[in-house]
Structure 1
Amino acid sequence: MLRSERLLLYTPLIALDVLAPAAGCSDGEAQRWLGFRDDQLVQHEDTRECFLYMRADDDLSGFAPRDRFKMMRKIEQHSERFVELTAVHVDDRRYAGATSVDLHTGEIGGWLAPGFRRQGLGVELFRAAVQLGHRHLGLEVVRAGAEPTNTACRGALTAAGFASASGQTRFTLGDGREVDACWYRHRQEATSRCRS
């Protein structure tokens, strides 16, 4: 578990910890930059809106067991390659977003739900990803890519201590779109790895 000034970040424990952050990045604005596959998104707008107002301590017992099983299976498949942290806003306990680190490449990603954008929380999210990579996963270098026109993401990465780095100039998103890319990296020689 990590804590920033306004965010509490932890490994997803229940289906809601995955579903609510997925709803937070399922809107068109987020997917313009993220380009996730359809099966990674909360497609139905009413369901998405419901999740955006849920709090971390809300009860999901009303969901059909079949739906919970499918989502938990996605969590298990995802966790084989990525370590993901769910971000909850400290003041109101609503799901604010998520960040992740790819165990194979050291690449990080992250997103914020619509109600938490443009408040400087991206910097806190990326600082948490840095801590996760360096202090918990033992990575000397963590990297992040962004589209050159995504000034919000690029500004948050810079404010979180990332420096420009070399990398491929084109990148294929999960939905198959190929986009321009610029790269950043955060290096720290003193690292540690958690036993868990």
Structure 2
Amino acid sequence: MTLLPVPGPCALGRHTVHTERLLLYTPETQLDLLAAIAAGSDAEAQRWLGMRGEEVVADARLRETLLRMRPGDNDRKIRRELLVAFEPGTEAAELLVGVRRDNGRYAAALQLDHTTGQTGGWLAPHGRGQGLGAELFAAGALLGHSHFGMDTVHAGTEATNAACRGALLRAGFVPAEGPPTHTLRDGREIDSTWFRHGSGPVARCRAAGVAQSRV
């Protein structure tokens, strides 16, 4: 049986969401955080994500090492300080790291801006092409609706990113109006397309803090 992390119920700024094949949670260690970043640091992912150079794990061998690991592993190539606790801050964007429920490997990252209701995420190379993108976006919608009390969750992607568009549709998002272009963090301007996810009853978990305006 695969040993999965046990992040527990949402509390103290920490969230947990799961789908059929993914467990997503607020990073508990610096290793969790670095693995979440590594999952989207390769060239294929960065074609769409466009992060700045200092925001990615640039070393390919380090990325591969991280993405072979499971939470709690103590590989000799990983510095001891990466196993210390990660304390979530007060940023508007929530970041969750994802692991596969079948083998426990780091596999994804999910973001939600709880001031705008916009969600997004990425999969590690070993998790792509298996339908996990739809589960990842469904988790983003669940996080917004059931943890932050949002009536609507939004997502955008490059107009030519057919895989992302398909994953959003399978996750229950529908096309929506939005800006025709978007500037990525590395300065590239892309043609964009937008989606929204509506829900029935909404709720707030203990980790969401005081009530905020619904998006």
Q: TM-score, normalised by structure 1?
A: 0.91
**Which of 85, 88, 93 in structure 1 is aligned with 2:96?**
85
**Aligned mates of 1:90, 1:189 — CA distance in 2:** 28
Which residue of the partner structure matches residue 168 of structure 1?
A: 179
Q: Distance in 2 between matches of 1:83 and 1:148?
A: 25
- 1:45 pairs with 2:60: yes
Taking only aligned residues, the RMSD between alpha carbons, in angstroms, comes to 2.0
**Structure-2 separation of matches of 1:35 and 1:105:** 20
* Cα distance in structure 1, aligned partners of 2:80 and 2:137: 34
Give 1:137's match in structure 2, choosing from 131, 140, 148.
148
**Equivalent of 1:151 in 159, 162, 167:** 162
Shift of 1:59: 2.8
Give, as a single letter, the amino acid of the residue that structure 2 aligns with 1:160.
A
Match of 1:21 among 14, 17, 36: 36
What is residue 79 of structure 2 aligned with on the other side? Answer: 63
Q: CA deviation at 1:72?
A: 5.0
Task: Report the structure, 1 or 2, having the larger helix content.
Answer: 1
Structure 1's unaligned 5+ residue stretches are none
Give runs of ≥4 in structure 1 deviating > 2 Å: 59-62
2:125 is matched by which residue type in structure 1?
Answer: P
Aligned to 1:126: 137
Structure 1 residue 165, shift from structure 2 partner = 0.3
Q: Distance in 2 between matches of 1:81 and 1:165?
A: 23
Within 1, Cα distance between the matches of 2:19 and 2:53? 31
Deviation at 1:92, TM superposition (A): 1.0
* Stretch moving more, 51-60 or 101-110: 51-60
What is the match of residue 23 of structure 2?
A: 8
Cα offset for 1:64? 5.4
Post-superposition CA distance 1:131-181 (Å, at most 9, x none): 100000111111000111101100000000000000000000011110000
CA displacement 1:73-122 (0-9 Å, x = unmatched): 8x63xx51111221100111101111111112111011000000000000
Change (3 A) 1:112 1:93: same
Q: Does 186-195 or 159-168 show the bigger shift?
A: 186-195
Given that 2:27 and 2:86 are in contact with CA atoms closer than 8 Å, whether structure 1 keeps it comes out as no
The amino acid across from 1:86 in the alignment is V
Instruction: Please tell me the residue identity of whatever aligns with 1:127.
Output: A
Counterpart-to-counterpart distance in 2, 1:192 and 1:186: 15
- The answer as to whether partners of 1:16 and 1:60 remain within 8 angstroms in 2 is no
CA distance in 1, matches of 2:194, 2:22: 25
| 1:188 correspondence with 2:203 | no
Shift of 1:39: 1.6
Identity percentage over the alignment? 48
